[in-house]
Structures are given as structure tokens and as C-alpha cells.
Amino acid sequence: WPKDVGILALEVYFPAQYVDQTDLEKYNNVGAGKYTVGLGQTEMGFCSVQEDINSLCLTVVQRLMERTKLPWDSVGRLEVGTETIIDKSKAVKTVLMELFQDSGNTDIEGIDTTNACYGGTASLFNAANWMESSYWDGRYAMVVCGDIAVYPNDNTRPTGGAGAVAMLIGPNAPLALEQGLRATHMENAYDFYKPNLASEYPVVDGKLSIQCYFRALDRCYASYRHKIQNQRKQAGANQPFTLDDFQFMIFHTPFCTMTQKSLAHLMLNDFLSASSNTQSSLYKELEAFRGLKLEDIYTNKNLEKALVKASLDIFKKKTKASLYLATRNGNTYTSSLYGCLASLLSQHSAQDLAGSRIGAFSYGSGLAASLFSFRVSQDASPGSPLEKLVSSTSDLPKRLDSRKRMSPEEFTEIMNEREHFYRKVNFSPPGDINSLFPGTWYLEQVDQLHRRKYARRP
């Protein structure tokens, strides 16, 4: 099979407007710091009625194709991961064919995959599997993931967001998926789900969702370590795998403090499996907790606080940079993990990243989770695939700064408007297309038969 299948290029899209989380704290009359410190969120992007999941994906695919300057017939597989379902039958992928079919390229495998925030990762795995199979025809694959994360006007609303990521997948990639190293945990849980077809909002058991996420993380980490240690044994080496072996670690990020706690979890896993005479200074602060079980962290806030404190340095080194987009744009469900990847690239130089291993944890409620890893290529020289990929993300801060800050009142009005137009027919969405970023696709009209028409802002 082809060598080093992975991410060759990526593109991130987020809406051109946001609400400030400090403003939202005041508006919702909660304690100052609850969203900004407690959840670690500073801003939240949101879409007007003019944008839906199809338009988000159209925009991000168009931008990726324009950036890479690839011909439309160079893509042989297109996968979409999303949980923003506007049609129970027609896939977002079929709408994206509008971009490809004019070039005559209709020979493109792949379709939508759905399970909460996990669909993007399932799509990535599908794309890589295709490329490593007898069905690969030598062309690129593209993985598109995106969501509009919206909640009712209660304590869940500040954990919303919106965005999409498109990734070009091919061999000899600067971010290569590590072969044989995927650890998965799946189980039946009702932590976050969308049974209500009349509403865009999920049903959420927030506290349960956090426990499910951590349990899935712990299980995946144990399984990943087991698999990599087996690989090492086969190669004649015997050293145990620890967090030190991930130079960087990214997570699905529903809110940023959750991610910081997740890294602390991995540290606890290492601590509990290390022998009791481990001298590592990293673990000194944890000695008081020796004898506890892994599950204790789910309920013991003192342990959680001690772990977060003890892991602060490694958080700064391995993970903090990956939260740049998430803290400013919020949760984007299927694309959250890949937005974190883009952030990590945007905050480091190619030299910093060269040769490293990036661990990635993907979680989708319901639940489906995987821990896998990327190997970053060694060549960081100017013009190398790695350097090009890294520099393509350098405009993230500038693009985020150029968004329009909306008041909580305006945000709430737009959320109400989304509720009003949800599943309506025969309308043209209200709003000024000039409030979108140039080049953005938008919903122009929904006709009597629910057929959606899109146009592109010049």
C-alpha cells in the first residue's frame, strides 16, 4: 500500500460573527468567569439563517480546492462527517457534488457518516482505508467535517459554536496516520442525542456526557498503550509507553477546560500504571493520591484539581496551542478535533513540529471514541510539504480577529430566527450577504418541496 497516508493540506471555515463570552455571562446573569474561566471559552461563533451545513461544507471544500490549486478530477473519494442533519435521506456529500460535477468528475466514492462528534474521524479512517486498499485508483481523498452546534437558551448554550474543516488525504503526507495504532471504545449511552426532529437542539445530560467522555478516553488510552507496546515488543524493544511519547496531544474539545482535564486524565493513567517507587518529579504532587482508582477522578474534585495543577507544564507544552480556535469559536462537533489540529499547526513552526508524534482523541456522544496518532515528517525545510501545511494555517488569528462582534441580544435574536425558520419551506433567508466573509457559500432559497438553492458571495 502507499506510504505515509495522511493529511496533505487542510482548510478551516468559521462564521464571520461571534458573541463574546464575557458579554454572555452578564446577559445570562451567571457569575463572572463561569464561561470564560470555568469552561475556558472566550468567544463563540454562530451562523445566521443564511448558513446551513451544506453551505458551510461547500465553502470549506471550495476554499481547499482553491488553495491547493488541484483540478476537480484529482479527487476520487469525498467523505463527509456531520451531525447537523437537515435531511434524513439526502447526504451533504450529494450537495457538494455540485462543485465537482461541472468538471465531469462524478466518479467519487464516499458519503456522509453520522454519530455525534465522531463522524469526521470515521470519515478520515474510511478515506485512509480506501487509500490502503485494492480499490484505490491513485487519486486524492477529501474529508469534510462540520457542524452548527446550537443549544436552547439554558446552561448548555455557551458550549455552542459553528465551523467546518476540509482535509486533503494522500500518500507521503507531512501528517501521516500511524499504521496499526487506532484504539477505539464504543458503548450504548444516552449522554447527548438528537431525537427531536422538530428542533435543531440536542437532548443533553451534561454531567453524564462528561463522565462518558472521560471513561472513553481512559479506555482508549489503555488500549492504545497496549497496541503500541505490542508493536515495540515485536521490534525487540520493551520500554512502556507514556504521555512523554506524545510530543503533542489534541482532543475533541466541547469546551476548553474539558480538554485541560483530559490531559490530566492521561497523566493519572500513567501515574497509576507506574511502579510505586517512580521518582519522576512530575508525579510528586500526586503521591497523596496513590491508592486511588482511575474512576475516582470522575467524582473527586480535589483529585481533579491536583491533577490539573500537576499537569500544567505538560498542558502548556503539548496541548494549549491546540485550543486557540476552540476558545475563540467554540465547539464545532465533528470538526472540533481537526480545528484543534489546525490551531496546533498555526501556533508552532514547522521546525517545532518536525519528527513529532501527535496523539488525537476523538469523542462522539452515544458513544463512539478513538485515540490514534499522526507522525509529523522530518523535513521542515522551506517549501517542504510540512512547511506549506503549517504556513497555510498562519492566517487563523487574523481571520478570527476580522469577525464581527455581536451583542448577546443580537445573538439571541438570530438563535430565535433559526428556530423560526427550522424546517420551514418557501422562503429566502433574511440577512445581508455582505456580513459573510467574501467567497462564502450561503443559502439563497428553500422552495415548496424543501429543495435548497445556494449561491456564493463574491
By CB under 6 A, tell whether 156 contacts ligand CAA: yes
The vertex-147 CA angle with 146 and 149, nearest 5°, equals: 150
Choices 26-34, 106-114, 181-189, 392-400 (CB under 6 A): range interacting with ligand CAA:
26-34
By CB under 6 A, tell whether 210 contacts ligand CAA: yes
Look at the alpha carbons of 264, 252, 121, 249 in this order and tell me if their dihedral is positive or negative. negative
Q: Which DSSP letter does residue 427 get?
A: B
DSSP conformation letters of 108-119: -B--EE-BTBTH
117 is catalytic: yes
By CB under 6 A, tell whether 204 contacts ligand CAA: yes
Q: Which CB, 32 or 425, lies closer to ligand CAA?
A: 32
d(CA 339, CA 178): 20
In 3D, which of 18, 26, 54, 19 has the Cα closest to residue 444? 54
By CB under 6 A, tell whether 425 contacts ligand CAA: no
Among 33, 71, 138, 439, binds ligand CAA (CB under 6 A): 33
By CB under 6 A, tell whether 39 contacts ligand CAA: yes
d(CA 316, CA 310): 12
DSSP conformation letters of 298-362: GT-HHHHHHHHHHTHHHHHHHTGGGGHHHHHHB--GGGHHHHHHHHHHHTS-HHHHTT-EEEEEE
Among 22, 28, 155, 231, binds ligand CAA (CB under 6 A): 155
CB of 175 to ligand CAA, least distance (A): 23
CB 1 within 8 A of CB 180: no
Paired strand residues for 19: 44, 406
Q: How many helices (H) and strands (E) does the chain have?
A: 14, 17
| Binding residues among 172-201 for ligand CAA as defined by CB under 6 A | 192
Q: Which CB, 34 or 232, lies closer to ligand CAA?
A: 34
Sorted by sequence, the CB contacts under 8 Å of residue 213 that are 6+ apart come out as 252, 254, 258, 262, 363, 369
83 is catalytic: yes
Total residues in contact with ligand CAA, by rule CB under 6 A:
26
Among 4, 22, 34, 171, binds ligand CAA (CB under 6 A): 34
Q: Which of the residues 252, 304, 340, 387 is marked catalytic?
A: 252
Q: Which of the residues 117, 145, 212, 256 is marked catalytic?
A: 117
Among 48, 260, 331, 346, binds ligand CAA (CB under 6 A): 331
Q: Which of the residues 25, 83, 304, 387 is marked catalytic?
A: 83
**How many CB atoms lie under 10 A from the CB of residue 142?**
29
256 is catalytic: no
Among 363, 372, 374, 411, binds ligand CAA (CB under 6 A): 363
Q: Kind and range of the H or E element at 404?
A: strand 404-406
Binding mask 78-117 for ligand CAA (x = CB under 6 A): ---------------------------------------x
Q: Please count the residues of the chain.
A: 458
Q: Which CB, 155 or 300, lies closer to ligand CAA?
A: 155
By CB under 6 A, tell whether 370 contacts ligand CAA: no
User: Which residue is nearest to ligand CAA, using beta carbons?
Assistant: 38
Residues that bind ligand CAA (CB under 6 A): 31-34, 37-39, 117, 155-156, 159, 192, 204, 206, 209-210, 213, 252, 254-255, 257-258, 331, 333, 363, 365
Residues labelled catalytic: 83, 117, 252
